[in-house]
Chain A
């Protein structure tokens, strides 16, 4: 019989030692001395949201909106250039990423085309049929725009969530156009606030009020228009009001705001004269001078503060204001705090929608961990007892290998930062049952060889040698399914697949190497004639 390979023994001992260190935080938790964390960076096995409790949100980013907005900017810039050069523009419109500009007969089409090409040839495909010019965004530029808007949205949401003050939130890009937000430890009470923080586009605009009405029709009549589109063509806009005044349900204002929230450098919760929560903000640089000009020119007029298209308040301008302002309205303290936070982080360039949510209460998570742990202990003990009962000394060998196997698996989970989920725990328990399969295959083979009349040593040799390919073949296919699950699975299922994959690799190792070494150690230097199996 082969001796005991020193190399493998060293590897196994080192490995076990490493795993113990990696796992200490998982089992000791808070009882660890503080120097531990400084010496060893491992934080132990990280728990998934389904075990720890918290909020998981999958957000879809409406990137098409970003392309549309970009084309609106192109429209504005081109049309004003044409006007400046006295090229007679009849109409212009944007749809599906294509800008169409129509001209009156006799307009200098060649010049218009030249201007358009000069400015936008790099990012759009331009063609003309003699009456109209059509600019459509190039696919490569669409990609760039979409990538940009996702990155910006991710960054802004990250700022908002981090500011909210819960521990270790994670905000990642997921797939092509999605963002995955995970906030462990968030309670059901936090849920709605977090959702609001994320979903609020938070476009803040300051506009001068031209008329106020109790209904939309009143205001339409005031500008002699029938639809909102006609209002827009006249350079005006109608906004709904949320100021708490029944007679002021709708406001007529200018269409484009000269001052927006992008110039805000800071925002915080304050209180108005009546002690109600409000949001105070500060402008920086160009914002301050623009705001100063706007207020100076309109003293005595009403200034509408528009948040995401809705007027929150419309105070009368008493004096020139430059740096500071306050948004009053009907806020609760939490709402005011969150609005200040959102204004600090900036507005989302494109809207987001919630595609998937999972909120798990902390009690369910705790319950799952305890039940998972309990069933693992019960299952584990049953398997250990069964193996000793059935295989005697070799059963002990298999059990020793199994214990090390579990240690390795958990060590790997910790080292690779695999998140342990509830199905992951189930995967771990399942691995306990499957792990001894390799031992069983080998032991049954050894028994057969013994029955066939081979010596003990030869039987062990043959048992291991002949089982090698069986074990490899059988596990490669199982690993294949686990990897497919890992590749296509999401959330908890991915955690299950990761646990299962690591379990399979570690199991093959412990079946073929660890158990073998234990067997060899047991029979080293002895002329054995009998195997207890």
Chain B
């Protein structure tokens, strides 16, 4: 069976239009980040305390927040977590609202609240996270550093294996993917946690993987058909690998969907990030990375 037969589609021609889409998405991402005052950093990065609780029935977050205030613990935020039916909530405290030594008191009064109030019957504490200020700062540095090193490492490997323009194209594509995925997380108002950083790095890996398969084919065509124009070679390369590009995106998506719906609250956001990333990464391999290579070649040809 063939997903896509022989194609004579002029991808290169569409790249101008695609660039407008990319710029629009990037602008929306940045606007959302500006509007939300940066990513919604998780407690791992800001420092503080986060308590993950599971309720027996659905409750408005306000009820929970007020309940906590009555027991003398004004929380910084209470937010829903996972799918709506999970009834799971995250209670967060800024470092000055709950020091490490206060966690015990809080745990006790929360358990009292669960025992007393009818609303909270059957509720339980699932997880307690405390991050000291020093660790938080280190984790932010490490997270940013790992993304930066990944970009540099990939650039280095690609420079060794491909022409310089290809390498730059791939890195521009992955920066594009990272920015727009982060924008999507911000738009969906999801927490930016360490697991999300891990998902972002996976998206980077996936995006580059996708780009390389196309580049490899363009390069092969350059050797086999030196008489053809570069634009044609790029179009051929994209067309020939298009079935693979789409099929792989489909198989990855096939496993992400159950992870998103069935994987549980903790995995939910992680799967969300990857789903967005796979779509953007697939798009960018064709319309951003390859587009840059065409542009770069043209500049080189005209001097």
Contact = CB atoms under 8 A, between A and B. Distances in A.
Contacts of A191: 104, 107, 128
B212 to A, nearest CB: 5
A195 B102 CA distance: 12
Interface stretch (A111-119, A253-261, A466-474): A466-474
Interface string B109-144: 000000000000000111111111011000100110
Interface size, B (range): 35 or more
Interface in B192-228: 194-195, 197-198, 201-202, 204-206, 208-210, 212-213, 216-217, 220
Contacts of B212: 470, 473-474, 477
Given A357-B130, A475-B209, A480-B150, A383 B264 contact: no
B187 interface: no
A488 B255 contact: no
Contacts of A423: 195, 198, 267, 270
A39 B241 CA distance: 50
Contacts of A473: 161, 212, 216
A342 interface: no
Interface in A429-487: 429-430, 432-434, 436-437, 440-441, 444, 447-448, 451, 466, 469-470, 473-478, 480-482, 484-485, 487
A355 interface: yes
A426 B154 contact: no
Contact of B126 (A361, A378, A383, A448): A361
A426 B205 contact: no
A484 B129 contact: no
B174 to A, nearest CB: 10
Interface stretch (B13-21, B34-42, B245-253, B293-301): B245-253
- Name the prevailing secondary structure of the A interface residues: helix
A258 B112 CA distance: 46
B253 A357 contact: no
B244 to A, nearest CB: 5
B2 interface: yes
A477 B158 contact: yes
Contacts of A480: 150, 153-154, 157, 205
Contacts of A371: 262-264, 267
A206 interface: no
A430 B252 contact: yes
Contacts of B256: 379, 430, 433
Interface string A341-384: 00000000000011111111101100110011011001110110
B274 interface: yes
Interface stretch (A124-132, A136-144, A280-288, A489-497): A489-497
B213 A490 contact: no
B61 interface: no
B122 to A, nearest CB: 12
Contact of A429 (B132, B134, B259): B259
B248 A440 contact: yes
Interface in A26-80: 50, 58, 60
A43 B127 CA distance: 27
Contacts of A372: 263-264, 267
Contacts of B251: 383, 386-387, 433-434, 436-437, 440
A482 B252 CA distance: 17
B58 interface: no
A330 B24 CA distance: 68
23 contacts: A50-B266, A354-B132, A359-B128, A359-B129, A360-B126, A360-B127, A361-B124, A363-B124, A372-B263, A375-B263, A423-B270, A430-B252, A434-B206, A444-B244, A469-B216, A473-B216, A474-B212, A475-B209, A481-B201, A482-B201, A485-B146, A492-B194, A493-B194
